[in-house]
Amino acid sequence: MTKTYTRTAISLHWLMALGLIGAFSLGVYMHELPLSPFKLKLYSWHKWTGVSLFMLVLVRLTWRLSHPAPPLPASMPAVLRVLAHATHVALYVLMLAIPLTGWLMSSAKGFQTVWFGVVPLPDLLSRNAELGDLLQSVHEVLNLSMAALVVAHIGAALKHHFIDRDDILRRMLPGNRSNSA
C-alpha cells in the first residue's frame, strides 16, 4: 500500500491552498471598499479565481477518487480518524459549495460571471436583491466555516508533525523523496 500522496495530489493540494487563501483574503478585503474602478477589478479577479478553483477542485476530486489517499497511521485513535475524514469531506464540500454560492449570489445581484472576461457562465438566477443578500450571507458563513476548518486542518498537521512525530505532514510536502508520480 502506498505510504504517500502522488506528486499530482500534492501539487493540487498546495495550488488549492494558495488559491483559497488568495480568494478568501481578496473577498474579505474587497467587500468593504467604496465603489471604485479598483473595486470592480478586484471583484472580477475574485470571481475568476473562484471559477478556477471550482474547476481545480473537480480535477482534484477526480484524482482523489482514482488515487486513494495513503492510510492514516495505525497509532491514531478511532475518534481522531473519524474526525480527520469528516474534516476532509467537509473541506471538499465547502470547496464546491463556496464558488457555487458566489456564482449564484453574483447572478442574483445582477452581475453575470464571465470567466477572465471571456467565458460567460449562465445566470441560473435572475436579479433579485433579497435573494442576492441571502446568498451573500450564505457565502460568508460557508467561508468562515472553511476558515475554521482550515485552521483545524493546519493545527492537526502540525500536531502530527511536532507532537505525534509521524509522517502525516511530510507526506504532503513537495520534494519528498518517497513521492511517486
Partner 1 sequence: MKTATLRLAAAAALSFGAITAGAAEFTSIDQTASRVTFQYAQMGVGMDGSFARFSARLKFDPAHPEAGHATLEIPLASIDTGSTEGNEEVKAKNWFNTAVHPVARFESTSFKALGDNHYEVAGKLTIKGQARAVTAPFTFEPQGKTATVKGSFELKRNDFAIGEGEWADTTIVADEIRINFQLRALQTAP
For cell 511517486, the residue is: 180
Residue 75 or 126: which CB sits closer to partner 1? 126
Does residue 21 interact with partner 1 by CB under 8 A? no
Nearest to 179 by CA among 44, 1, 10: 10
Choice from 114, 134, 138, 157 touching partner 1 (CB under 8 A): 114
* Interface of this chain with partner 1, residues 43 to 62, rule: CB under 8 A: 43-44
The per-type count for the chain, helices as H runs and strands as E runs, is: 4, 2
Measured between alpha carbons, how far is 66 from 30 in angstroms, rounded to an integer? Answer: 38
Does residue 40 interact with partner 1 by CB under 8 A? yes
Does residue 127 interact with partner 1 by CB under 8 A? yes
Choice from 118, 163, 177, 181 touching partner 1 (CB under 8 A): 118
Measured between alpha carbons, how far is 107 from 101 in angstroms, rounded to an integer? Answer: 10
Q: Answer yes or no: are the C-beta atoms of 30 and 46 closer than 8 Å.
A: yes
Task: Return residues touching partner 1 (CB under 8 A).
Answer: 35-38, 40-41, 43-44, 109-114, 117-118, 127, 129
